[in-house]
Structure 1
C-alpha cells in the first residue's frame, strides 16, 4: 500500500474509497496531493481486487481549489519552485492528475461532499460519474484569481455541459449550487450529505459487480478515447480490434456459458494482465 499524505484509502468489497484528509485546509490542492493522486491510480489500476474508485473529501469540502498559502506567488512557478515537483517547467499539475484519471483502467466516481472549487471541480471532469451532496457548491473561479482554466478543463467541460454553460461558468468565475450543477449535467445525482458515500458505493457496484473487469476497462477507454477521434471510422478501426481480442478471451466463453446456464458469471481475466496491448495514439496493436 502506498504511503499517502493527503488522502486516506480503504479497499473493501471491490471498491477503493479515497478520502482527502485535510479538512482544516478544506482539502486544498498542493504538490503532495498531486503525487498522492498519481500514485493512487497506479495502485488501483494494478490491483485486481479493485473494481471501481470512489473519490470524496472530509469536512466541509471535496477540494476547495489550490492551496493559496504562497500568496500572490502561488501560481508563479519560477518564484514558487514548483516545476520540479510537478514533472516539468510550466506543466500544470492539475492536468497531470486529470490525464491520469482519463487513463484509469477502473471506473471513477466523484462523491462531492462540499465545496468543489477550481481544481476541486476540474479534476472531477475526467471521472465517470459525479454525485454531490445537496448543499455542495462548485466554482470554476480561475478568472477571479487572474489565471485561466486548467486541468484540461477546456477539453472536458464543454463536452459535458455544452459550450455556452462552460463559458458562463469560466468567464464569470461564480460559485454555484449543486442544483445548477445537476441541471447542467455536471453532476448526475444529488443526495443528503449523510447518504452520499453509501450512494456512491452503491452506484460503483451497480456499474461493475456483474461485468467482466477487462471489458469494463476497455469500454472506459473506448468511450473516453472516442472523444478525441474525428470520424466514426476511426472508432470502427479501434473497436473492431478490441472486439476481436475480447472474442478470443476466456471471459467471453465464461460470460456466454453463464448466460446460457442462467447463473452468475465468474470472469477469469484480470486487469491489467488480461488487457490487449493498446496504443490509443496510433492504430491499436494486440498480442
Structure 2
C-alpha cells in the first residue's frame, strides 16, 4: 500500500496492491466539514485514481468521528459575522465556496466509487456520499439533510439523487424535516447497502472493492455506470435501444472473450485495465 502523498494532506491517498484507491477526508478536528482545502484535495485524489490504470475501484471515507459534517462554517466565535458573510456570499461565485466541481461529477467517473461512511454525514457531505455508487456505513453513524434548518435550499443535486435512491415521499420527508437519522434507518430506506460495526467498516468496504477490482471488467463497469446514470433521464425504449448498441460494441472486446473463457476454464479473470485515454 502506498503512502499518503497526494496533492493535499486534507485528503489522504493510498493505493492497495489489489487495485483499490483509498481516499480519506483528513480534517478530523472539524468532522471533515467541507471547505476549499478538502475540495482541492478530493479533486486531485479522484483525478489521480481515475487516470491510474492500476486502480480499478475507489473507496472514500473520513478520518476520525465524521465522514463529512457539511460545509465548514467557521469556529463558533465567527457567529456574529454570519450576516456579513452571507451578504458577500450572495454575490460570490459558488465555485469559490465549495470547489470547482459539483458533487454529481462523481457519477461521471469511469471507476466505481464506494463510500465507507464512518460517522457524521451531513449537508454537502450527505450529497457527496449519495453520489457515490455504493455506500457502507458504521452502526450509529448520523445522517442529515440539514439545509432547511439552516435556511438553505436543497443544494448541489441532492434533490435529484435522493428521490432516485429512495422515493419522492422519502426525499421530501428528509429534506423538509431536515431531521437526523441513523445508519440503520438509512439502510432501511435504501441509502446504504450495509451497516456494520465501526471497527469493521473499512474491512468490509475494502473487501467489496477488492472483489469487484479482481473479478469485474473495468470497461464493463465504466459502461454500466454511464448506462445507469444516463437512463435516469431516458425512457425504457431509449434505454433498451442504447443497450443494444452498447452490447453490439462490447462483443468483440477482449473483456468479453476473457470473461467467458475464464468462466469456462474456472479461473480468475484477467481483464485489461482502463487506460487514461479510454472513453
User: What TM-score results when the alignment is normalised by the length of structure 2?
Assistant: 0.88
Which residue number in structure 1 is paired with residue 86 of structure 2? 76
| CA-atom RMSD in angstroms | 2.3
Render the CA deviation track for 1:252-279: whole Å, top value 9, x for unaligned.
222222233332221235244444xxxx
Q: How does 1:83-162 map onto structure 2 within 5 Å?
A: 83=93, 86=95, 93=98, 96-162=101-167
Supply the distance in 1 between the matched residues of 2:258 and 2:57 (Cα, whole angstroms).
22
SS in 1 for 2:121: strand
Which structure 1 segments of 5+ residues have no match?
276-287
Which range moved further: 173-182 or 65-74? 65-74
The partner residue of 2:274 within 263, 270, 277 is: 270
CA drift at 1:95: 9.2
CA drift at 1:186: 1.2
Residue 248 (structure 1) aligned with residue 239 (structure 2): no
Supply the distance in 2 between the matched residues of 1:190 and 1:206 (Cα, whole angstroms).
18
Supply the distance in 2 between the matched residues of 1:190 and 1:171 (Cα, whole angstroms).
25
Which residue number in structure 2 is paired with residue 236 of structure 1? 240
SS in 2 for 1:10: strand
The partner residue of 1:44 within 42, 49, 67 is: 49
Rate the CA distance shift 1:261–1:93 in 2: closer, same or farther, 3 A: same
Which residue number in structure 2 is paired with residue 4 of structure 1? 8
Residue 206 (structure 1) aligned with residue 211 (structure 2): yes
Aligned partners of 1:214 and 1:271 also within 8 Å: no
CA drift at 1:63: 0.6
Render the CA deviation track for 1:166-219: whole Å, top value 9, x for unaligned.
111111111111121111111111111111011100111233321111111111
The partner residue of 2:231 within 203, 223, 226 is: 226
Which structure 2 segments of 5+ residues have no match?
none
Render the CA deviation track for 1:69-110: whole Å, top value 9, x for unaligned.
165259738448852x727xxxx8379342210101111111
Supply the distance in 2 between the matched residues of 1:161 and 1:77 (Cα, whole angstroms).
35
Rate the CA distance shift 1:245–1:156 in 2: closer, same or farther, 3 A: same
Aligned partners of 2:187 and 2:195 also within 8 Å: yes
CA drift at 1:38: 2.3
Render the CA deviation track for 1:214-254: whole Å, top value 9, x for unaligned.
1111111111211121x112112322222122112122222
Aligned partners of 1:133 and 1:192 also within 8 Å: yes
Supply the distance in 2 between the matched residues of 1:136 and 1:67 (Cα, whole angstroms).
19
Supply the distance in 2 between the matched residues of 1:82 and 1:192 (Cα, whole angstroms).
42
User: What TM-score results when the alignment is normalised by the length of structure 1?
Assistant: 0.86
CA drift at 1:23: 0.5
